[in-house]
Amino acid sequence: MFEKTLLDNGIRILTEQRTGTRAVSLGIWVENGSRHEERRQGGLSHFVEHLLFKGTEKRSPQEIAEEMDSVGGVINAFTGKESTCYYAKVVDEHLPLAIDVLRDIFLNSVFDPDEIERERTVILQEIASADENPEDFVHELFSLDYFGDHALGRPICGEAEDVSGFTRDDLVRFVADRYLPGRVIIAGAGNVSHAELVDAVAGDFSAVPSRPLEDTGVPPEVGRGLHLHPRKLGQVHVCLGVPGLPHGDRRHYVAHVLNTLLGGGMSSRLFQEIRERRGKAYSVYSFLSSYRDVGYLGVYVGTRAEWTREVIDLAVEEMFKVAEGKVTEDELARARNQLIGNTLLGLESADSWMSHMTRSEMHYGRQVSLDEIAQGVRDVSLDALMALARELFVAETMTATVLGDLDGHSVEGLRFGGVAPETVAGRAIDS
């Protein structure tokens, strides 16, 4: 059963009590991420996330870790483009400890100067290692190529030059400016009582003074064209994307079905055509990302240099086949059922439900039930699928990021559905 309480200062407390489990997942979410950073602030959200575990007025970093380990619990955090989450997962009898530790790090972190310097070196190593996995790194490059210098395109960890210069005042001021009650959600899922959670957190969190919220971040102008990033690698890694849908768009179920049909599994069009029939790739899939005011639908392929142009042609061809209506009712039904099954199975755990519940609140301002999700997917028609495909799969709006060594195999003359993309020289990367 879902319940919600709104504190006077704007903090929202959400719970979903689920029977049949001893697990409880508790998260403190802030509607703040890397897109809310100004140009020289890149990486501040991520730096703050690290530092909240580095000591409070009553706990050292070691004591924070030891207390959670002593009850077999998990405590961690992550920073995204539009939100940051601090979370813990424990057996229900240890929920009071999880509440106390999360509350302590969120409200009472001291930002010790020595800890700041130690964590700075950790983050700089994280930045330095970001390009070690080419399949992951090509997605980072695609974001840069697609969003340009907009904050959505820049890496969440920031750039080494900026991170090296952050001061304690920068970090403390950023928290004061961005961690406002109206952006905070406290969410618990599993064997948790709403009334008990509210009683446990309302006192301290109600004392956080409220301030007016200002809308931050302007919509990005998205890029297009062919972006080449030379690097000595055993494979060439390609991301090909088109503009997608923002959060809240009423056609989001159609977009998810389209993504599933195109490249969402082993029976998808891309997997069957590029890997199974042609043998031109080991890994091939499509992906969907949505933000407050923009989104994209993309395709990833890892292939050999001599096949790069062919696999891009094949991916574009499959996109346009869908837009032209070359989809059967059986294929659509399989994609709908696959998506429903994947979604429902993915929401079996307390932590996944805690995330779903919070994202529903942030993106839609209400809860989206499992029945609503399933029905929304079932209602996707062939006409709606083709209409969205025709809107999204437009040659002139396509962006392709190519990472690797083409080894003399030129992609000149490449066409996106008959349209020659502008070629943009990406930055060379040392191997």
pLDDT in tens, 369-386: 999 999 999 999 999 999
- Show contacts of 319-323: CB within 8 Å, 24+ apart: 319/242, 319/262, 319/389, 319/393, 319/417, 320/393, 320/417, 321/269, 322/258, 322/261, 322/262, 322/269, 322/385, 322/386, 322/389, 322/393, 323/386, 323/389, 323/390, 323/393
Helix (H, G, I), strand (E, B) or coil at 166: coil
151, 42 Cβ separation under 8 angstroms = yes
Bridge partner residues of 91 (DSSP): 23
Could you give the C-alpha distances from 272 to 126, 284, 320, in angstroms and in order?
A: 36, 10, 16
Helix or strand run (H / E) with residue 73:
none
CB within 8 Å of 64: residues ≥ 6 apart: 53, 55, 56, 75, 101, 105
Predicted local confidence at residue 430, as pLDDT: 46
Query: How do beta strands 23-30 and 84-91 pair?
Result: antiparallel
* Residue written as token pair 């082993």: 266
Q: Is 214 or 328 the better-scoring residue by pLDDT?
A: 328
* Residue written as token pair 């199975």: 345
The chain-wide mean pLDDT, for the chain, equals 93
Q: Is 213 or 118 the better-scoring residue by pLDDT?
A: 118
Structure tokens at 224: 């297009």
- pTM (two decimals): 0.93
* Residue written as token pair 């995204």: 80
| Domains located in the chain, CATH noted | 2-206 (3.30.830.10), 225-425 (3.30.830.10)
Q: Where does the pLDDT of residue 237 fall: very low under 50, low under 70, confident under 90, or very high at 90 and above?
A: very high
For residue 329, indicate whether it is catalytic: no
Question: What is the distance between the terminal CA atoms of the chain, rounded to a whole angstrom?
Answer: 53
Instruction: Report the C-alpha gap between 44 and 37 in whole angstroms.
Output: 7
Predicted local confidence at residue 223, as pLDDT: 85
Predicted local confidence at residue 413, as pLDDT: 66
35, 82 Cβ separation under 8 angstroms = yes
Q: Is the pLDDT of residue 58 over 90?
A: yes
Q: Exactly one of 16, 31, 49, 318 is catalytic; which is it?
A: 49
Query: How do beta strands 399-404 and 236-243 pair?
Result: antiparallel
Predicted local confidence at residue 431, as pLDDT: 38
Q: Is the pLDDT of residue 407 over 90?
A: no
52, 75 Cβ separation under 8 angstroms = no
pLDDT, tens digit, 9 for 90 and up, residues 2-28? 999 999 999 999 999 998 899 999 999
Could you give the C-alpha distances from 366 to 10, 15, 292, 359, in angstroms and in order?
A: 15, 13, 15, 9
DSSP 228: E
Q: Is 214 or 263 the better-scoring residue by pLDDT?
A: 263
Q: Is the pLDDT of residue 217 over 70?
A: no
pLDDT, tens digit, 9 for 90 and up, residues 83-108? 999 999 999 999 999 999 999 999 99
Predicted local confidence at residue 425, as pLDDT: 63
Q: Is 107 or 224 the better-scoring residue by pLDDT?
A: 107
